[in-house]
Amino acid sequence: MTRAMKDQGALSRWRILRRRLAIVIGAIAIAASATLTAAPASASTTWAGVSGFYDTSHWGDQFGGSRNHQGIDIVVPGYSNTPVPALRGGTIVAAGTSSCLGNYVIVKVGTSDFDGYSHLVNTRTSGSVRQGDSIGETARSGQVTGSCWSGSHLHLTNSSTATGFNTGNVRDPAPIIRAVLSGAGSGSGSGSTPVNVSDFSGDGAADVLGVNAAGELYYYPNNGQTLSMPVRLGQGWASFPHVMAADFSGDGAADVLGVNSAGDLYYYPHNGSALSAPVKIGNGWGSFKHVMAADFSGDGAADVLGVDAAGDLYYYPNNGQTLSTPVKIGFGWGSFKHVMAADFSGDGAADVLGVDAAGDLYYYPHNGSGLSTRVKIGNGWGSFKQVIASDFSGDGAADVLGVDAAGDLYYYPHNGSGLSAPVKIGNGWGSFLHVM
């Protein structure tokens, strides 16, 4: 074989090798391009906010189907922990770890309305959340994922109970997501803000509690804007000048707070069906004209507000089931017949309502740190024995209830800007020492 023939053969082999190499490189480039195209964008762009995170293009397995899937999977990038925004506002009522679902968080949105978030890490475990607030982050391989995990995703459920996500008592969350994405409301279900005052059952609608003339404390369940048969919770309350019901613990169900005859302030934790042993959280309250418990800070746990002997209104922040240094938020309240605190605006933080000496009912909006200019929302309240504000309808905004001079209990629905015509929901309340 000549030298020229050898060189020609080598050149041919090199050309063949180069063509094969080009084909391989091209295939790699195509595969890489396909992979990059399919990969979701970073959390700071496509995944930002509620509309970005829950966009239908991110939906994986949906509800039902051949697998009888019990929710909707929001598939996220697997290379990082993606923040999970709350689809709707509410109160965190449960957080823990399931063998199947890994770390989970349950948010109570309203009456019989619970959103479940699973396969998470770095979860929030208590308090209130607003729509868009971070619930936690999606788990990645190597973290606590649960045995039902199949790649980075959020498993979203909706149920009528707080435990439904783990027992199969679930509903398709797709209509809720679509309602939120379409802007057909805030996506708040039956209540965009957590019920805090007087919701002893924890179902999203305020109940009524009362101390009768004998000093017995009773709980009257709200069974659809009427009251069921009362349940006795305790006795010996006749000497208490102030008794309140609000969610001081932040677990979604109202506790009871009371100032005894010595002026000591006690917190009685709700234990599921009754009240546990009291915890002393303050003293020197004996001279206060009005004492209220409601979530003024908007963090999901009730704070305490009070009008002292000088008529000054103070806010005592709840700092973990004790009270921090008070903040003065008003004066001139000494002549008011009734003062209440509840979320009248529906924004997640308690406002203040009061009946003045002339019998006029005023609403003082919470403005972030104090109270804004008052708005008159009624008159003729001077003869009422008891006036309370709580979300009896379960729609996220406080209503007003009152016991008139005849001892009849009326419910005045919040209608968006004021109060609608009253509905009578009871009688025989005239002798009650406290109604809340």
The pLDDT of residue 361 is above 50: yes
Indicate the pLDDT class of residue 183, thresholds 50, 70 and 90.
low
Residue 11 one-letter amino acid: L
Question: 107 with 159: CB under 8 angstroms?
Answer: no
Question: 206 with 392: CB under 8 angstroms?
Answer: yes
Model confidence over 379-394: pLDDT tens digits? 999 999 999 999 998 8
Residue that wins the pLDDT comparison between 35 and 282: 282
The pLDDT of residue 19 is above 90: no
Sheet holding 351-355, edge to edge: 338-342, 351-355, 361-364, 375-378
The pLDDT, as a whole number, for residue 350 is 93
CA distances from 52 to 41, 184, 243, 246, 423 (A): 11, 17, 46, 35, 43
Model confidence over 342-360: pLDDT tens digits? 999 887 789 999 999 999 9
Among the ranges given (86-90, 180-184, 318-322), the one the predictor scored with the smallest mean pLDDT:
180-184
State the chain's mean pLDDT as an integer: 85
The pLDDT of residue 196 is above 80: no
pTM of the model: 0.63
Whole-angstrom Cα distance, residue 271 to residue 202? 12
- Written as six digits, the tokens of 400 are 């007003």
Indicate the pLDDT class of residue 46, thresholds 50, 70 and 90.
low
CA dihedral sign of residues 115, 124, 92, 165: positive
Whole-angstrom Cα distance, residue 287 to residue 338? 16
Whole-angstrom Cα distance, residue 39 to residue 61? 17
Instruction: Identify the helix (H) or strand (E) that includes residue 116.
Output: strand 113-121
Indicate the pLDDT class of residue 307, thresholds 50, 70 and 90.
very high
The pLDDT of residue 45 is above 60: no
The pLDDT of residue 23 is above 60: no
Work out the average pLDDT over 391-410.
93
Work out the average pLDDT over 218-238.
94
Q: How many other CB atoms are found less than 10 A from the CB of residue 63?
A: 19
H helices present in 289-359, as ranges: none
The pLDDT, as a whole number, for residue 43 is 37
- Written as six digits, the tokens of 25 are 């490189």
As a whole-number percent, the residues of the chain with pLDDT over 70 amount to 84
Among the listed residues 368, 297, 322, the one whose alpha carbon sits nearest the alpha carbon of residue 127? 297
Model confidence over 137-165: pLDDT tens digits? 999 888 988 888 888 999 999 988 888 78
- Written as six digits, the tokens of 154 are 């959020």
Indicate the pLDDT class of residue 21, thresholds 50, 70 and 90.
very low
